[in-house]
């Protein structure tokens, strides 16, 4: 048996340049000379901000964390996934950094303005390590092959010809450190691509959390996550179904192991909380006794 794709083992940040100190002007300079110096300094400061990591060119928000970074996602196909609150919460839990969506989405980014910059993610962290982890995770999510996110003319033609199809429910919920969709499609969509190349079929992830947008409704299907397979021949679809079921067995096995780890961590947390509550109660009871001996 040949080795399957899923059998394989699963930017540095530039610091903002310091702003040059304002050179003092001599008292003897004329008003016009002073104005010229001030204008030059202002231009220099503006240039420094324009060359930094921020997209808006504005001065740092006083409410920001010590380390920040902005990532332009206006033209990224996965922007739907990246702007979801559940995705940003997952990034925060995994890295400790906070992520928020800013800017406006433009079909033509050249029409963006300083007041309304193109869509981007703003990352805030208390350490460089936390910030870099968040950046790496976002880059990984940006590289996921989402497949076709809208139905196209070819899809509709296939429906008219009534190609054979299969619909396989995934049957798993995402848990901490385990994104079900990402595990199914594989790194950069390699698992889905492998099945398609081996069988000559079309394999798509649809349903809640898939990122697949139905053209008629303009949103995801409200069905639980599932894998949809279509192909010109029954034999091709049957072969793709076998490979997909095999892949789901591997993903479900990994999910079960991760669920056990998450459950153990939860139990340890509850035990620690119970012990703390018991010690606190004991301390309250001992205070009167200790006081009476004084």
Residues 186, 5: contact at Cβ < 8 Å?
yes
Task: Kindly state whether residues 137 and 183 are assigned to the same domain.
Answer: no
> What CATH number does residue 127 fall under?
3.30.1370
Indicate if 157 and 95 belong to the same structural domain. no
Distances (CA, A) of 36 to 28, 33, 125: 14, 5, 39
Q: How many CB atoms lie within 10 A of CB 33?
A: 12
96 and 160 housed in the same domain: no
Specify whether the CB–CB gap between 221 and 150 falls below 8 A: no
pLDDT tens digits, 225-254: 999 999 999 999 999 999 999 999 999 999
185 and 131 inside one domain: no
Report residue 213 CA to chain centroid gap: 18
9-60 confidence digits (pLDDT tens): 443 333 333 434 444 444 444 555 555 555 555 555 444 444 344 444 344 4
Cα distances (angstroms) measured from residue 79 to each of 39, 107, 124, 248, 249: 39, 13, 19, 26, 29
Last residue of a domain, one of 107, 142, 177: 142
The whole-number pLDDT of residue 178 equals 85
Whether 17 is covered by a domain: the verdict is no
Please tell me the distance from the alpha carbon of residue 69 to that of residue 121, in angstroms, as a whole number. Answer: 8
Query: Given 81, 116, 142, which residue is the final one in a domain?
Result: 142
Domain-located, residue 3: no
Same domain for 294 and 155?
Answer: yes
Say yes or no: 135 and 161 in one domain.
no
What is the domain range of residue 255? 147-294
Residue 145 has a pLDDT of 64
* Residues 151 and 293 reside in one and the same domain: yes
Q: Is 294 within 8 Å of 286 (Cβ atoms)?
A: no
For residue 111, what is the DSSP state? Answer: G
pLDDT in tens for each of the 294 residues of the chain? 556 667 664 433 333 334 344 444 444 445 555 555 555 555 554 444 443 444 443 444 555 678 999 999 998 887 878 888 888 999 999 999 999 999 988 888 888 888 889 999 999 999 999 999 999 999 888 877 655 544 555 555 555 567 899 999 999 887 877 888 888 988 888 999 999 999 999 999 999 888 888 877 888 888 999 999 999 999 999 999 999 999 999 999 999 988 888 888 878 887 888 777 777 777 666 656 556 655
Q: For residue 109, what pLDDT is reported?
A: 85
Give pairs for 216-220: CB < 8 Å, separation 24+. 216/151
Cα-only R_g, the chain: 27
Is 9 part of a structural domain of the chain? no
Same-domain pairing of 63 and 93: yes
Shared domain check, 60 and 94: yes
User: Is 12 within a domain?
Assistant: no
Neighbours of 141 (CB within 10 A): 18
Domain shared by 101 and 211, yes or no: no
> Last residue of a domain, which of 112, 142, 172?
142
231 and 179, same domain (yes or no): yes
């Amino acid at each position: 048996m040949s080795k399957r794709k899923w059998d394989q083992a699963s930017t540095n940040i530039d610091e903002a340049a310091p702003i040059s100190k304002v050179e003092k002007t001599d008292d003897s300079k004329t008003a016009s000379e002073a104005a010229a110096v001030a204008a030059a300094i202002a231009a220099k400061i503006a240039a420094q901000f324009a060359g930094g990591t921020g997209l808006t060119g504005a001065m740092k928000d006083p409410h920001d964390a010590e380390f920040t970074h902005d990532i332009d996602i206006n033209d990224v196909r996965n922007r739907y996934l990246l702007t979801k609150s559940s995705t940003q919460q997952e990034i925060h839990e995994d890295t400790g950094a906070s992520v928020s969506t800013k800017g406006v989405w433009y079909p033509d980014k050249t029409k963006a303005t300083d007041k309304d910059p193109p869509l981007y993610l703003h990352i805030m962290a208390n350490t460089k390590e936390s910030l870099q982890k968040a950046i790496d995770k976002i880059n990984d999510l940006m590289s996921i092959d989402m497949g076709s996110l809208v139905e196209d003319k070819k899809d509709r033609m296939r429906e008219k010809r009534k190609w054979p199809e299969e619909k396989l429910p995934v049957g798993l919920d995402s848990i901490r450190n385990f994104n079900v969709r990402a595990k199914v499609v594989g790194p950069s969509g390699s698992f889905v691509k492998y099945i398609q190349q081996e069988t000559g079929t079309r394999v798509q992830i649809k349903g809640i959390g898939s990122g697949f947008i139905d053209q008629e409704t303009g949103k995801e299907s409200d069905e639980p996550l599932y894998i949809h397979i279509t192909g010109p021949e029954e034999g091709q679809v049957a072969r793709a179904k076998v490979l997909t079921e095999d892949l789901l067995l591997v993903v479900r096995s990994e999910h079960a192991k991760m669920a056990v780890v998450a459950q153990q961590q939860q139990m340890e947390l509850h035990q620690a909380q119970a012990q703390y509550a018991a010690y606190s109660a004991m301390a309250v009871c001992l205070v009167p006794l200790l006081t009476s001996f004084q």
